[in-house]
Amino acid sequence: MDLQNVWTVATKDFSIFTKKKSIMYSFILFPLLVSIGLPLVIHFVNVQSGGIPTAALVLLLNAFAFFFVIFAATLPVAIASYSLVGEKVEKSLEPLLATPVTDGEILLGKSLAAFLPSLVATYGGCAIFMAFIDNLTFSQLGYLYFPNWTMGVILLAVTPLVCLLSVEVNVIISARVNDVRTAQQFGGILFLPFVAIYVAGEIGLISLETNNLLIISAVLLFVDAILFFVSRSTFRREEILTKWK
Amino acid sequence: MTGDSSGVIEDIIETAHAVRRPSVIDAENLTKRFGSLTAVQDLTLHVDEGEVFGFLGPNGAGKTTTVRMLCCLISKTGGKAKIGDYEVGNSADSQKIRRIVGLLPENVGLYDDLSAYKNLDFYGRLYKCTEEQRRERIEYFLKMLGLWDKRNLSAGTFSKGMKQRLAIARALIHDPKVLFLDEPTASLDPEASKTVRDFILELKKEKRTIFLNTHHLDEAEKICDRVGILKTKLLAVGTPEKLRELLWGSKTVVQLEHVNDAIVAAVKRIGPRNIEIIDNKLVIDVSNPERENPDIVAAISAVGGRVQFVNEVSPTLEDVYLKLVRS
């Protein structure tokens, strides 16, 4: 595999994304809203209730941290749908496939183009979130709550795996749909299981602590591996030119 | 030349083979099936270096499928083909073939959000052109195609004709050995078509090998050294002149004051030939117009016929094409 080709494909997609206002808004506004909005909720509840009990505060912060997993499932959809369905709609895949670049290099380049900005936006939003939360809760807790092991597992294991899952699902969806919005709608469904986990955490059905997050990561790794082979078999030159409708 | 149409077609293909030189594109019995549908069957053709080869055929004839097979975009079901020294279908050679061919697909497929320059630069990078090569070639082709002043504008702002020209430049950015053009003037207005055609003629002067899929028979006639007519199978291949000569022959039209049976009988007495009567015109198959026309006129005059005009019918490539495709 020629990594230079992979990077050329990825940077070309980056250049295109910077021209798409909807994508830029998603990648700037969405992280900002979440990273500032969630600490504001804590602040508002603190002010209204005269202070959240420490045990409840810790549960709430762990649940909020999981918000960034949902985030990681959602963000790549915006890019991956443009990256693959967009090229399909603009019929620009055929000339690209006519170059000496391999299918794997194109797929990896496009995956990176969706994966890296999503991860950067998630990490950026998370950094702001952690800074605000620490600032708000230090006086009550007496220590900096973030970063901690839970957030470490979320950022270093769960989030990248979820991003990858989202990209792979979009590759598979791209073979079946013909417009970017439909791809985004189908891709958006991916965040539902993670919302379900979040809600389960909020109502106390499961605890979103380090051990459980590691189990979730293991499951994601398994699903990612399976979907890698499915998406790889979907993204073949002949398949794209003759069967992608 | 045999009497039935299939025999004629085979003879033309044989004739073409007999005079062929070393070629850049070699296909032998190349076949592509999609399930039960045969898109291309037993295609055998050879395209010489520096030749402009026109590939004609109705929609669904298999022209695009052939180009895709030759560019290693889709697999072949049977037969064999070579581009230069590399074998189509051999996975080790596929990348090498894609490196030496340039393709202008039916849909230009440019990146509308990128500038003309960046579109070309992206492809130059994928073909491993050096920065200097990319800079020089982009400038050369954009100037040649009249797009240099618009190099920093998004391709999305370009007209259809400009996009087509930019896409041709993209196909040439790595200086390919063979250029495949799939319907380069389809859906362009006459002026844009002419610009593209003129550019192809410029490329022809540079002795580039060009494989041109087209519906425009006049375009094929003006540009191509040889043409092939495809309808799933290759029906005929040769120079436009050769095809016209072999498939159509010569016809003489004699405009008379009145046609009667005696005149027709007199013409038939000169030799067995097909005579068609249209109003007061006789359309007569001739093999050697210079020798036979005076005899025809003399025979008509001898039985009292009065000749007003004598013309030769020159078939166009379109006549040949329609005759073949309809048969």
Mean pLDDT of chain B: 87
Residue B48, beta-bridge partner list: B23
What average pLDDT does the segment A31-59 reach? Answer: 87
What average pLDDT does the segment A172-185 reach? Answer: 81
Bridge-based pairing of strands B78-83 and B226-231 is unpaired
What average pLDDT does the segment B265-283 reach? Answer: 85
8-state DSSP, B295: H
- Model pLDDT, residue A183: 82
- Model pLDDT, residue A100: 94
Mean pLDDT of chain A: 88
Q: Which residue of A has its CA nearest to B70?
A: A98
Choose the closest CB to B105 out of A95, A99, A102.
A95
Taking the CA atoms of chain A, what radius of gyration do you get in angstroms? 20
Selected residue with higher pLDDT from B72 and B251: B72
pLDDT at B139 over 50: yes
- Model pLDDT, residue B14: 47
Question: In one letter, which amino acid is B40?
Answer: V
What average pLDDT does the segment B287-315 reach? Answer: 87
Give percent of chain A above pLDDT 90.
34
What average pLDDT does the segment B11-34 reach? Answer: 73
Phi, psi of B143 (to 5 degrees): -70, -45
Q: Are B307 and B256 in contact (CB under 8 A)?
A: yes
Choose the closest CB to A91 out of B109, B126, B127.
B109
Q: What is the pLDDT of residues B200-226, one digit of tens each?
A: 998 898 889 999 998 888 888 889 999
The answer to whether residue B122 neighbours chain A at the CB level (below 8 Å) is yes
Tell me if B127 and A100 make a contact (CB, 8 A cut-off): yes
Give percent of chain A above pLDDT 70.
99
Q: What is the pTM of this model?
A: 0.81
pLDDT at B175 over 80: yes
Q: What is the pLDDT of residues B141-162, one digit of tens each?
A: 999 888 999 999 999 999 998 9
Q: What is the pLDDT of residues A96-119, one digit of tens each?
A: 999 999 988 998 898 899 899 999
Question: In one letter, which amino acid is A176?
Answer: R
Tell me if B126 and A93 make a contact (CB, 8 A cut-off): no
Q: What is the pLDDT of residues A57-73, one digit of tens each?
A: 888 888 888 888 988 88
Residue found under tokens 């039935």: B4
> With a cut of 0.90, is the ipTM above it?
no
Residues of chain B found within 8 Å of residue A94, distances taken between Cβ atoms: 73, 103, 105, 107, 109
- Model pLDDT, residue A237: 82
CA distance B131 to chain A (A): 13
Q: pLDDT-based confidence at B7, cuts 50/70/90?
A: very low
Q: pLDDT-based confidence at B12, cuts 50/70/90?
A: low
CA distance A106 to chain B (A): 11
Of A138-152, B243-257, B271-285, where does the model show the most confidence?
A: A138-152
Q: Which residue of B has its CA nearest to A96?
A: B123
pLDDT at B13 over 60: no
Residue B277, beta-bridge partner list: B282
Of B30-39, B65-74, B126-135, B309-318, the least confident: B309-318
The answer to whether residue B178 neighbours chain A at the CB level (below 8 Å) is no
Q: Are B263 and B300 in contact (CB under 8 A)?
A: yes
- Model pLDDT, residue A204: 77
pLDDT at B16 over 60: no
- Polymer length in residues for chain B: 327
CA distance A22 to chain B (A): 14
Residues of chain B found within 8 Å of residue A93, distances taken between Cβ atoms: 109
Tell me if B170 and A98 make a contact (CB, 8 A cut-off): no
B 27-46: CB under 8 A from A: 34
Selected residue with higher pLDDT from B89 and A83: B89
8-state DSSP, B175: -
Residues of chain A found within 8 Å of residue B109, distances taken between Cβ atoms: 87, 90-96
The answer to whether residue B262 neighbours chain A at the CB level (below 8 Å) is no
- Model pLDDT, residue B46: 93
Torsion of CA B191, B194, B199, B204, to 10 degrees: 180
- Model pLDDT, residue B20: 52
Choose the closest CB to B98 out of A20, A94, A100.
A100
Distance CA B215, CA A235 (A): 32
pLDDT at B56 over 50: yes
The answer to whether residue B115 neighbours chain A at the CB level (below 8 Å) is no
How many beta-carbon pairs under 8 angstroms link A with B? 76
What average pLDDT does the segment B98-111 reach? Answer: 93
pLDDT at B6 over 80: no
